[in-house]
Every structure is written in C-alpha cells, then in structure tokens.
Structure 1
Amino acid sequence: MSKALTRRGWALLAAGIALYGLGELLGHPVLRALAAVAVAVVAVSAALGARRLPLHAERSLERGRVMRGRPVPVRLTVTNSGRWWTPRFDGVDGGPVTVPALRPRRSAAVDYTVVPQRRGELHLGPLRVAQRDPLGLTDRQRDTGGVTSLWVYPRVHPAAPPGSGNRRGVLPGGAGGGWLRGAEELRALREYVPGDELRHVHWKATAVTGGLMVRDLFDPPSPDLLVLLDTRPEALSPDAFEEAVDFAASILTAATNAGHRARLRTTDGLDARGAFLEALCAVRQLPGAAAHQPHPGTVVYVTGPAVADLGWLSASGRGVVAAVTPGAFGPADPGVLALAGADAAALTARWNAAAR
C-alpha cells in the first residue's frame, strides 16, 4: 500500500499553512479561520481515503500455459464483503481494469486480456486499487487478492521434422548433397524374388543384366537430433536470444511430434532429453563454453552471427549452424549447413526449405 497526498492536496495544505502564518503576522482572524478550514479539509480527505475498501479479488485463466505473444483471456471477480457500497474504481491486474460500484455482498466480473512477451513465470496480481477521496486530495494504491501464475512458453513455428533431414551422399566432414524426403533408403540392387513389388523394379539395371532387378530398400533409424543453444550474452542480444529460443523450440517440437529422439543442450550446461518447452521456458543467458564435442547424429547449433571454430560441428554426423542475424552471415565450415534469419520465423522457413 502507498500513501500520498496529490498535488492538489499538498497545494491546499501549503495554502492553509501560509494563510495561518499570514493571519498571525497581520492579526486577521479570518485568515486563521480559512487556514483551519483548509487543513481540516485535507485531514478529512485523508481520513476518508484511509478507509480500506472491503474488496476480495479472485481471477481465473482460460489456460495456465501459453506461448509468448499469444493473448490469454483473464476473468477477475471482485466481491464487496462489507456493509456499505463501494465506489467505482480503476485498478491494475496484469492490465488496466475498471471495477463498477458494488452493493454490499455483491460481486462483479471484469474480463481483460494479457499478451505476454517474455518467457518464464508471469505473475498476475495482486489487484492494485487506486483509491482516491472525493475531492482528489489523496491518492492511495492498495493491493488486494492473491497472485496467479501463468507459464509462458517459447513461440513455436511450424517446422519440418528432422526425419526429412537424412542426407544422401555424405562427404568427408559431414557435408552432403541436401536433405532427403521419405523414410526408405536404398541398400542395394538384387534379383527379383516372387512377391516383390513391381514398383521397386530397377529398369536400367534390368536392361544391363538381362535379369529382373529390384531395389532392396530399408527403413533408416529415427534420426538423433541434438540442439545446442548458445546462451552466452556476447553471442546474442536479449531480443535475438528470444528468437533463438523460439527456433530451438520449433525444431525440437517437430522432432518430438514425429517420434524422433531429441536432446537439448545449452552452452551453460543444461542437458534435457524431454519436456523441452518447460526446459526452454526457464532458459536464461548465462556465460558458458562455446566449444563442444562432435555428435554422431544431427546437430543444430543455434547462435549469433559471430561464429568461431566449427570444426567440432563439421565432425558431427550432420552439422547445422543457425544464426539469428538480420544481416549477412559469414561463411561457415564447408562441412556444415549454414542457415541465417532475422528472427525465428525466418530461420524456421530456411530450415523447412532445406528439408524439401
């Protein structure tokens, strides 16, 4: 709770003191009387404003978890638990609200919308009431009701699952000729066996050998995705870091929905193998090491434009560096697929284009 006279209140009080001094100096009782009236008015207004409004506030959320930038409807129910009317008042509860005048033992529901822009745990409440006297001489801010938590997740953009990211024709250092579509890989060519599907016949090989040849296909294992998020403050600005977190959340969500193995690591030591949105909800920028060990699967290094040595990434099975930058992105290691975008949406679009 805060207590303060408004400018009008301070001015009236100062005028009363000045009138009293002038009345004593000049010996005019009328001036002293006016001074007494001014001070009395301020005192009465302060006494009226000191009354605590008998209000009780409760809020309900449509959902307790939301992606950042998404609107969340909130219903605030305010109850007058006293024996007298309470006046209409303005307040703040995650956003500006106006509560109508309430009869004793009556309630009013006020709906508003909050649009969280930052990840993490957002606290709504308590309801802060601006309580003023009728003459506007005093202004008190009072808190009522409890606090409701809202968990804000990273924004998730539609992303292609890394299952379409198996590379064909892998070159030394992990470079390849682009992303493959489909789930079947060619193991070899063999002679036709009754029961084989005719759509698997390899006609060129059949023409060369003179015998019916078919493709021997197999399902490759689900790709193992590692997302490494750069949390170093010198690598990304705070706004760019939020976009990097959104991009990491997008591809991790796509991998999880496709049933692939996925893992999240950060340069400051976080290592998560599931519940990625919850883990990314609490990620913050902290100092850490930039160098890491190669990984046999697909590695996506999410960082800023000032990328240093990527030898460890090119030595991985499939290396991708995704830089959040509005400008040009310097050349990456020849064994690494480089993606760049000004925000998470642009990076996700380039990721999806590489998966075609």
Structure 2
Amino acid sequence: MPTRRGIAVGTAGVVLLVAGLVAGYRELVALGAVAVLALLVALLWAGWPPRLVVRRGVDPDRVTRGDDCRATVDLRSTARWRAQTLSAVEYLSTGGTVPVPTVRLRAGAHTTTGYVLPTERRGVLDVGPLEVSRQDPLGLVAATRRYGGTTRLWVHPRSHRLSRVPVGAARSLDGVVDAVQYGSITFHALREYVPGDDLRHVHWRTSARVGELMVREHVDTSLPRIVVLVDDRASAHTAASFEETAEAAASVLLAALRAELTAELHLASGRSVAGGSGGDGPGRARPYLDLLAELTTSADASLPRAVRTLRQRHRGDTLVLLTGADAVADLDSVGLLRDVYPTVVVGVLGGTGTGADGPSGRSLPGVITLTARTAEEFAGRWDGVSTW
C-alpha cells in the first residue's frame, strides 16, 4: 500500500505528466513520468512477497505471573536468488504487538531470533501470527504479510505457601491421611483393559458390545477431598479483587496437592477440574492452574446454582469458597453446605481485612470466614486459624 509519501509522489507525477502534455513542456512530462515510474517500481519492490517459512516456540509455555518467558522465531528463506531484509512484529491476543529484531536473510538461509513476552498479567496469551513488513528504499510503498500460526502461553496466577489445609477427616499418627471406611469403594467409569488388570473387573456385557475388553474402574470415595469454589460472577468483584481471588485459589490448591489430598476446582459459572492428588509437581497442578489462568468474570455465573450442585456431593469433604468483597450480602446460601461439608471456609478478597469477629471470625454459623485485602494477607489469616 502506498505511504503518504508515495501518494504525494504519485499524485504529483500524474499532475505534472498531464500538465506537461497539455502545455507541451517536455521537462514536465519527463519529471512526471519519473515520479510515476518510481511509484510503480516501489510497488513491485515492496509488493513482492517475502518467501519465508516461520516456526515459533515459547519456552516455557506456562509461567507464573511476572516470570520470564521468551519466544523464539526460526525464519527460513525459500527465495532462490535475492536476499531479504525483514522487519516484523508479533501480534498478541491482548491486542498489542511485540517487535521482532530486524534480520537480513540470504537466499536459502535461515536464522533464529527471539524476544521477551509480557507476563505481567494473568491470562491466556495467543502469540502470533508474525507480521512481516517490507518497504522500498524511497519509502513510497509499504506492504505487510502474516506468516505462521499462533502459539499459546498460559500465565498462571501467583501463589502463596500455606502451612496446612483442613482435611475434613482424621489423620493417622504418621501424618498420612487415613480415612478409609468399609464400603467406600464405588464404581467410577469403564475403560479399556490393559495388561495387569484384574479380570474380575471386566464388564463382559459392554465388552461384547464394543468388541474389546472393558474393565470397571473404582475410586475410594472416603479419601479426603478439598473442594475449591471460585465465585467468578462479575457482580462479586472489582478488577483487583478478582486477581487476588485467583491467587488465593492457586495457593489453596497447591497446598492441598502438597498435603496429598484429592483436590477439585469449581467455578460458579460451571467449569471444573477434578481428580488430582499427591505432590506439587507442575504436571499434577497444571490443569488447575490452567483453568485459573483462563479465569474471567462471567455475567451468567450463579452462586446459588453452584451451591446446589455441591450439596449433592458425599460427606467428608472440605469446601473453600473464594469470592470478592462485593458478594458478602449473597453468602447466606453457603451456610446450607455446613451439613454436607464438615469444614466450610469462606475467603473474602478485596475487603478491609478486618471484621466484627476478627480476622478469622465466623460471620456465618459454622463457617470460617477469612477477610483480606490481598491473597498474601489471606494466606497469613489462613495459617492463623488455630483449629479447623
């Protein structure tokens, strides 16, 4: 596309060319012809598409907010005879761009360049495509083309270490959760048979129908399970309290995994992650942190609906509700969960950090309420609870 300079040169060339022909001045005709020819050459120069193969990598593809993350772009020229000088930017799904260092590629050569990605905000960032710009030496025409697809980066919320978590069940003397009760093993799902499975668990009727061995998978429903419910209603939060809520949820979930508890994450809008337990490795915590990275406020989320869903779960769990200070008036329904969950904790983020009952007071009967301005302050109040 012609730049402002190109439009001015082209317009002036046409005017001079016409004026020269009408007035019979060869000099004006020559000057106008040179200007128009310069614009045409610039169109060919800049309009000739760069011949490139672009590959992009992001390392690591999951980071905690504020950590370093670098993208690497491999550029390979497929041109046969001419060198290419490339000026490019990477598009981001947030609407911004990241400049890529200018490179010069000989025909058939390849090079690798990199740049730092912004990780100051929690969320999911799609990086790409790469937009390559070309401009003629006179600056008359500039052309841009996009190469490559997109690469996704998950920016997880920060977390604050919690010293302990409520288990909602007794522990053995060696510190390991020990709450197995007779008859607590229940059917969970059917899956394909793998060598080593007990043949007594084969579901023959389903196996005959699908044509391959299917076995029943069972789970122990008595194992302590900590359920984290994040109130993602738009009406419950300010922008600041929502980010603090995400950090508080990450803190509780990582503490539960370190304590070898089974953890579940539920959003008031309906999405959930369940099933992880044991250890705090990145692979086990990844599904929870990914969902927290994708977390946005929802106008359709309903806290009463989420409470009704969680009331249908079996006894023996611990429930942690994390919400914003704007939702304090909507928490009456949470008290209904007290007869299902032995321990119910409500964290109110973005509040004043104090209350009539103290930092860890019980504003609802049988419910531990922790009010804090930030997730770091919430972690301190959490560890300050003497008994669950």
Q: Please, what TM-score do these two structures have when normalized by structure 1?
A: 0.73
Alignment equivalent of 1:143, drawn from 146, 154, 171: 146
In the alignment, which residue of structure 2 is the partner of 1:41? 38
In the alignment, which residue of structure 2 is the partner of 1:111? 114
Query: By how many angstroms is 1:24 displaced?
Result: 5.2
Q: Where does the alignment leave 5 or more consecutive residues of structure 1 unmatched? A: 168-181, 185-220
The one-letter code of the counterpart of 1:300 is V
Secondary structure of 2:329's partner?
coil
Q: Within the alignment, does 1:299 sit opposite 2:319 as a pair? A: yes
Q: Deviations over 1:112-135 (max 9, x none)?
A: 221334555432222211111111
Instruction: Give the 3 Å change call, closer, same or farther, for CA 134–75 of structure 1 in structure 2.
Output: same
In the alignment, which residue of structure 2 is the partner of 1:308? 329
Secondary structure of 2:56's partner?
strand
Q: 1:8, 1:351 → 2: CA distance?
A: 64
In the alignment, which residue of structure 2 is the partner of 1:61? 58
Mapping of residues 220-299 of structure 1, within 5 Å:
224-274=225-275, 275-286=287-298, 287-291=300-304, 292-293=307-308, 297-299=317-319
Query: By how many angstroms is 1:11 displaced?
Result: 1.6
The one-letter code of the counterpart of 2:150 is V
In the alignment, which residue of structure 2 is the partner of 1:318? 343
In the alignment, which residue of structure 1 is the partner of 2:163? 160
Q: Is the 8 A contact 2:158 2:247 kept in 1?
A: yes
Identical amino acids, percent of aligned pairs: 32
Query: By how many angstroms is 1:223 displaced?
Result: 5.0
Q: Is the 8 A contact 2:84 2:106 kept in 1?
A: no
Secondary structure of 2:236's partner?
coil
The one-letter code of the counterpart of 1:310 is L
**Max Rg structure:** 1
Instruction: Give the 3 Å change call, closer, same or farther, for CA 18–269 of structure 1 in structure 2.
Output: same
Instruction: Give the 3 Å change call, closer, same or farther, for CA 309–123 of structure 1 in structure 2.
Output: closer
In the alignment, which residue of structure 2 is the partner of 1:101? 104
In the alignment, which residue of structure 2 is the partner of 1:90? 87
The one-letter code of the counterpart of 1:282 is E
In the alignment, which residue of structure 2 is the partner of 1:10? 7
Q: Is the 8 A contact 1:305 1:330 kept in 2?
A: no
Q: 1:326, 1:96 → 2: CA distance?
A: 40
Q: 2:57, 2:272 → 1: CA distance?
A: 34
Q: 1:11, 1:352 → 2: CA distance?
A: 70
Instruction: Give the 3 Å change call, closer, same or farther, for CA 70–334 of structure 1 in structure 2.
Output: same
The one-letter code of the counterpart of 2:232 is T
Instruction: Give the 3 Å change call, closer, same or farther, for CA 55–38 of structure 1 in structure 2.
Output: same
Q: 1:92, 1:117 → 2: CA distance?
A: 19
The one-letter code of the counterpart of 1:136 is G
Q: Deviations over 1:29-55 (max 9, x none)?
A: 322322221111111101111111122
Q: Is the 8 A contact 1:160 1:251 kept in 2?
A: no
Q: Is the 8 A contact 1:339 1:351 kept in 2?
A: yes
Query: By how many angstroms is 1:233 displaced?
Result: 1.0
Q: Please, what TM-score do these two structures have when normalized by structure 2?
A: 0.68
Secondary structure of 2:100's partner?
strand
Q: Is the 8 A contact 1:314 1:336 kept in 2?
A: yes
Q: Where does the alignment leave 5 or more consecutive residues of structure 2 unmatched? A: 92-97, 177-221, 276-286, 357-362
Q: Is the 8 A contact 1:91 1:97 kept in 2?
A: yes
Instruction: Give the 3 Å change call, closer, same or farther, for CA 154–35 of structure 1 in structure 2.
Output: same
In the alignment, which residue of structure 1 is the partner of 2:369? 338
Query: By how many angstroms is 1:161 displaced?
Result: 3.2
Q: Deviations over 1:235-288 (max 9, x none)?
A: 113453233222212211110121113222221223432342243343332222
Query: By how many angstroms is 1:14 displaced?
Result: 2.1
Query: By how many angstroms is 1:110 displaced?
Result: 0.8
Mapping of residues 174-213 of structure 1, within 5 Å:
none
Q: 1:17, 1:324 → 2: CA distance?
A: 67
In the alignment, which residue of structure 2 is the partner of 1:126? 129
Secondary structure of 1:125's partner?
strand
CA RMSD of the aligned region, Å?
3.1
Q: 2:160, 2:29 → 1: CA distance?
A: 72
Q: 1:97, 1:138 → 2: CA distance?
A: 21
The one-letter code of the counterpart of 1:60 is G
Q: Deviations over 1:173-212 (max 9, x none)?
A: xxxxxxxxx959xxxxxxxxxxxxxxxxxxxxxxxxxxxx
Alignment equivalent of 1:79, drawn from 76, 81, 86: 76
Q: 1:85, 1:318 → 2: CA distance?
A: 71
Q: Is the 8 A contact 1:229 1:248 kept in 2?
A: yes
Instruction: Give the 3 Å change call, closer, same or farther, for CA 149–342 of structure 1 in structure 2.
Output: same
The one-letter code of the counterpart of 1:280 is L
Q: 2:346, 2:50 → 1: CA distance?
A: 58
Q: Report how many residues are paired.
A: 303
